[in-house]
Amino acid sequence: MKSLISIVAFLMLSFTAFCQGGVNFEHITFDGALAKAKAENKLVFMDCYTSWCGPCKYMSETIFPQEKAGEFFNPKFVCVKFDMEKGEGPELGKKFGVRAYPTFLILRPDGSVQHKVVGGGDLEGFIARVEKD
């Protein structure tokens, strides 16, 4: 009985996470994101953050989980996030000149920068800044 309850709880949590509808950040490498963007004819949306950054946490916890954010980002972008102090982050930060957090990069599948957005904000204003070409 305990295992059945565990399975039901797991399925409910999985379903809830699946149905939340926010931005789908992929857990892939930078090169993997570029390859996926090329294959899917999308751009890459890269969240450059640090663990100690308050505005970064606000974007992750308040803005990106919103259904409207998912509706905007998921069809257009392969979305990834990198901690600029860990893993690939420091190298990517140097490569793209990231000097403030959060910084968001809109990248073409060849890895070139289409544009950069520094700082967060409310969803509508942020989407307007991302849409700028």
The set of catalytic residues is 53, 56
Count of H-run helices and E-run strands, the chain = 6, 5
Q: How far apart are CA 91 and CA 84, in angstroms?
A: 8
DSSP-derived secondary structure for 1-47: -HHHHHHHHHHHHHHHHHHT----EE---HHHHHHHHHHHT-EEEEE
